[in-house]
């Protein structure tokens, strides 16, 4: 198994320093299986701890990536383009930090360039990095917007996230079909209502779109 580098983010440094071994993680899964009432040694569950640990490496791969590094390569050859750049319907899969239940949805990102632009794949990758952590949707929305603002220094950034939370659809209140919508507006998107309306018109009415199957 490859060694994962410690997270460069201040909020996760202490957790990374005390990171359990793979063997400890697998033993924790066996404990949960026993607590649920089953036998982790029976044939169908014998490899489950290994599979769960491997899945967690994928689910939470965002802790191993510096989001700002993704955005550092920008392009200045724009022929004077200074209108809105919008990337919409970016599917994401995250996990609620309260129940470790899936959050599945879409993110929409816009920014108003100021001399420089960035490759659109980097915006999708940014969503991937922040979603592959234990999250609440409100924080993830702000993290995406702030990272673009801090590195690219555009005239403004807008992020809208729509998510279906299985912590309330498959447990607790059991209310399927509910969509949570969050937004962060910075710069011209916050200060100029016409620019904000243009962005919202481009991404369409969240109520009229269907989220990915959960």
State the catalytic residue, choosing from 96, 108, 128, 143.
96
Active site residue 9: no
Phi and psi angles of residue 163, each rounded to the nearest 5 degrees, phi first = -140, 145
Active site residue 137: yes
State the catalytic residue, choosing from 95, 143, 162, 165.
165
Q: At what angle do helices 137-152 and 120-131 cross, to 10 degrees?
A: 140
Q: Which residues of 40-56 are buried (b: 16+ CB within 10 A; e: fewer)?
A: beeeebeebbeebbeee
- How far apart, in Å, are the Cα atoms of 68 and each of 41, 144, 151? 43, 10, 7
State the catalytic residue, choosing from 135, 137, 143, 166.
137
Is residue 151 within 8 Å of 108, Cβ to Cβ?
no
Active site residue 98: yes
Active site residue 143: no
Active site residue 97: yes
Active site residue 96: yes
Active site residue 108: no
State the catalytic residue, choosing from 68, 93, 97, 198.
97
State the catalytic residue, choosing from 27, 57, 93, 167.
167
State the catalytic residue, choosing from 23, 24, 41, 98.
98
State the catalytic residue, choosing from 99, 149, 153, 198.
99
Among candidate residues 85, 53, 69, the one with its CA nearest the CA of residue 7:
69
Residues recognised as catalytic? 96-99, 137, 165, 167
């Amino acid at each position: 198994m490859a060694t994962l580098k410690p997270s460069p983010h201040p909020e996760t440094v202490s957790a990374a320093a005390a990171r359990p071994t793979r063997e400890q993680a697998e033993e924790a899964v066996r404990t949960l299986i026993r607590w649920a009432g089953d036998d982790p040694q029976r044939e169908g569950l014998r490899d489950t701890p290994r599979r769960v640990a491997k899945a967690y490496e994928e689910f939470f791969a965002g802790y191993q990536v510096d989001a700002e590094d993704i955005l550092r390569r920008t392009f200045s050859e724009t022929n004077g383009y200074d209108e809105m750049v919008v990337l919409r319907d970016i599917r994401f899969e995250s996990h609620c930090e309260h129940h470790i239940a899936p959050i599945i949805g879409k993110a929409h990102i816009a920014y108003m360039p100021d001399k420089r632009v960035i490759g659109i794949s980097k915006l999708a990758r940014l969503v991937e990095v922040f979603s592959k952590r234990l999250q609440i949707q409100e924080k993830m929305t702000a993290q995406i917007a702030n990272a673009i603002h801090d590195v690219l220094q555009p005239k403004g950034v807008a992020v809208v996230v729509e998510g279906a939370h299985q912590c309330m659809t498959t447990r607790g209140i059991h209310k399927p079909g509910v969509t949570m919508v969050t937004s962060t507006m910075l710069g011209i998107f916050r200060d100029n209502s016409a620019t904000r309306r243009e962005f919202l018109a481009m991404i369409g009415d969240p109520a009229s779109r269907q989220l990915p199957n959960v």
